Structure 1
Amino acid sequence: MNNDYYLNDVKLADLAKEIGDYRFANYLYARVLEKEALVTEELKEKLVETERLKWDGKSILSFDGWKLSKSSYVKGNQCLKYLYLDKYKKKERTPVDEETQERFNRGHTFEDVVREHEFPGGINIKEKVGNFGYFNSYTNYLLNQSKHLTLYEATIIEDEVLVMCDVLVKSDDGFVDIYEIKSSTQANIAISNDLKLQYAVCKKRFKDKLRSFNLILRVEDDEPKWEIENKTD
């Protein structure tokens, strides 16, 4: 395993320590310290500290598995071969071409602009956690807190199907508003399939607490503009 793998462990361990999951943090620090090149006095101190605290904390972070992600579902609707390769032979998938990658990058840029202006100050699950398998448990940890919060890339798994919400806003009284951001100017079949699965998973997770489910589309213009459409049933 390369050093990046262990550095991700350090990031996850620091998060576990921050939220009081000392046992898991201790386990990760110990694993990292097995890699001689990464041994530091700071890590040794963190190991000792979490060793002392590990029976006082509570288990929060866990690796949660899934069989189908929203992105695989959407792409699988367009090409069944892609779905098969994504599930069983990832290395044989056709690499993303330059034009497609550029389109993805534009979409992420638009998403960032919308978040900054409409939903500032959110917690980015992807950036905070790093390791994909722990996104769901960290999302659950945050949602269980009785306060208003805004999450980017909130991750939900129901019936072994994983979806990530571009923006999730939870109010003080526990109601949830979800926003999916698309850089397209109008909905197409792929977006429709995306929203159907996303809504089904979110509805199962939040039930009557799901107050609204919204689509944000780009308005064709020289500067970033958008409109919000409420898609709640």
Structure 2
Amino acid sequence: MVNFVLVAGARLGAWAWDEVAPCLRAAGHGVHPLTLSGLADKRGVPAGQATHVQDIVDEVERRDLRDVVLVGHSYSGIPAGQAAERIGDRLARAVFVDSDVPTDGRSFLSAWPDGGAAVKASIAENGGFWPPAPASHYDGEGLTDEQIARLVRGSTPHPGATLTEPAVLAGPLSDLPATYVLCAPAGTEPEDAEPDAVVAELVHGGHWRLVRMDTGHWPMFSQPRELAQILLDAAVD
């Protein structure tokens, strides 16, 4: 048995894993979906990047979890990657689901065009939060109208500081046992159907495994059973 700690991306909470978690539990594993500070049921809790890292570490330590498969989706790959090295031998494997991966001294927005100037402006205009995305944001991602409605309905404003504050890493991510799940539906532009240079280098290093999904950026909604199977396979890698 392993313990899955599941962390969804920006604007989302533990609820985003509602269709994945039962599949993992049915296989006999511990499953711990986590809401990060300032989001969903923890809305109103102040949060910066270090807060989100600590949220994950605290969840593992408070529950005294061992054999942890730490799963970070999208934005949450940034705090999950930092937490992975801090939980030490409690970690069995990290899984990055179509996510950003942390780089020491760089923020979530560092790799965005113009350093994420448009997002930073949006944060400044919305009281320090990145507002939820409209339904049109999810077009072309393999989602049904009902799934898009769930995403829009469940999303909450995301604490802006978590997007602009830098990651802090003690060592190279290449040393982590990890799986990277690349989501790219059929018809994706060629440059988007391959991992970026950072992920490609990590995979080339030998400790990371690349898995592809023929779906969009929110596979816990569009293909929950398929994603659950990938996570189960990663647990025994």
Q: Which has the higher contact order (CA 8 A, sep 6+)?
A: 2
TM-score scaled by length of structure 1? 0.29
Greater share of residues in helix: 1
TM-score scaled by length of structure 2? 0.29
Larger of the two Rg values belongs to structure? 1
